[in-house]
Structure 1
Amino acid sequence: MHVILVTMGSAGDLFPFLWIGRALRERGHRVDFLGPELHALYVDAAGLTFHGLPADPAVLDHPDLWHPTRGLAVVWDATRPAMAQLPAMVAALDSGKDTLLLVHPLALPEADLCRLNRPGLRIAATWLAPSNLPTVHDPLLLGPWPVPTWVPHGVRRWLWRTLAARFIDPVALPGLNAARQERGLPRVRSLIDYIQTIPDLSLALFPDWFAAPVPDWPQPLYQAGFPLYDPDPDAAPSATLRAFLAAGAPPIMFTPGTGNRQAGRYFEAAAHAVAQLGLRAIFLTPHREQLPGSLPPSICWQDYVPLKALLPHVAALVHHGGIGTTAEALRAGTPQLVVPLAHDQFDNAARVVALGAGVSLHATKVTARRMGDALSTLIDNDRYARRCAEIARSQAQGPGIDGLCAALETLVSHPSSED
Structure 2
Amino acid sequence: MATIVIVGIGTRGDVVPYTALGSALAAGGDRVTIATHASLRSHVDEAGLGFADLPVEFGADRPLSSARFARLLAGRWLDIGEAVLAAARDADLLLLSPMGWLGYHVAQATGAASMGVFLQPLEPTAAFPPPLVTTRPLGAAGNRAAARAFRVLGQLPFARANAEFRRRLGLPPLGPAAMFRQADEQRWPVLHGFSSAVVPVPADWPEHRPVTGYWWPRGGRGLSPELRRFLDDGEPPVFVGFGSLAAPRLRDVVEQTVAGLGRRVIVQAGAAGLTAGHRDVLTIGDEPHHLLFPRTSVVVHHGGAGTTAAALRAGVPSVVVPFTADQPFWARRVAALGAGPTPIPLRRATPRRLRDAIAVADSHRTGAEAVSRQLATEDGIATAVAEIRRRVLPVQ
Category of TM-score, reference length = shorter chain: 0.7 to 0.9
Deviations 1:65-92 (A, max 9, x none): 2x3x524424533662553214631553
| Correspondent of 1:152 among 135, 139, 156 | 139
Assess, with a 3 A threshold, how the Cα gap between structure 1 residues 139 and 195 changes in structure 2: closer, same or farther: same
Shift of 1:216: 4.7
For residues 401 and 161 of structure 1, the distance between their equivalents in structure 2, rounded to whole angstroms, comes to 28
Q: Which letter does structure 2 place at the counterpart of 1:52?
A: D
Could you say which residue in structure 1 is the equivalent of 2:115? Answer: 124
Deviations 1:84-110 (A, max 9, x none): 21463155324xxxx111121211243
For residues 217 and 404 of structure 1, the distance between their equivalents in structure 2, rounded to whole angstroms, comes to 17
Q: Which letter does structure 1 place at the counterpart of 2:162?
A: L
Is the CA contact (8 Å cut-off) linking 2:223 and 2:292 kept in structure 1? no
Could you say which residue in structure 1 is the equivalent of 2:160? Answer: 174
For residues 211 and 273 of structure 2, the distance between their equivalents in structure 1, rounded to whole angstroms, comes to 38
Query: Which stretch of structure 1 is more off in the superposition, 196-205 or 310-319?
Result: 196-205
Q: Which letter does structure 2 place at the counterpart of 1:135?
A: P
Could you say which residue in structure 2 is the equivalent of 1:3? Answer: 4
1:18-417 → structure 2 map (5 Å cutoff): 18-56=19-57, 59-61=58-60, 63=62, 65=64, 67=65, 69-74=66-71, 76-77=73-74, 80-86=77-83, 88-90=85-87, 92-94=89-91, 99-118=92-111, 121-130=112-121, 133-140=122-129, 143=132, 145-148=134-137, 151-160=138-147, 168-181=154-167, 183-190=170-177, 193=180, 197=184, 200-217=188-205, 219-229=207-217, 232-233=220-221, 235-239=222-226, 241-257=227-243, 259-260=244-245, 262-263=246-247, 265-287=249-271, 290-291=273-274, 295-359=277-341, 360-379=343-362, 381=363, 384-413=364-393
Query: Which stretch of structure 1 is more off in the superposition, 109-118 or 9-18?
Result: 109-118
3-state SS, counterpart of residue 296 of structure 1: coil
Shift of 1:22: 1.2
Unmatched tracts of structure 1, length 5 or more: none
Unmatched tracts of structure 2, length 5 or more: none
For residues 382 and 196 of structure 2, the distance between their equivalents in structure 1, rounded to whole angstroms, comes to 17
For residues 141 and 413 of structure 1, the distance between their equivalents in structure 2, rounded to whole angstroms, comes to 30
Q: Which letter does structure 1 place at the counterpart of 2:59?
A: L
Deviations 1:321-357 (A, max 9, x none): 1111111111111100011111221111111111110
TM-score by length of 2: 0.87
3-state SS, counterpart of residue 249 of structure 2: helix
For residues 144 and 221 of structure 1, the distance between their equivalents in structure 2, rounded to whole angstroms, comes to 21
For residues 184 and 200 of structure 1, the distance between their equivalents in structure 2, rounded to whole angstroms, comes to 18
RMSD: 2.9
Deviations 1:106-144 (A, max 9, x none): 1124322331232xx2111101122xx142423335546
Is the CA contact (8 Å cut-off) linking 1:254 and 1:284 kept in structure 2? yes
Q: Which letter does structure 2 place at the counterpart of 1:277?
A: L
TM-score by length of 1: 0.83
For residues 146 and 334 of structure 1, the distance between their equivalents in structure 2, rounded to whole angstroms, comes to 24
Could you say which residue in structure 2 is the equivalent of 1:17? Answer: 18
3-state SS, counterpart of residue 404 of structure 1: helix
For residues 218 and 75 of structure 1, the distance between their equivalents in structure 2, rounded to whole angstroms, comes to 32
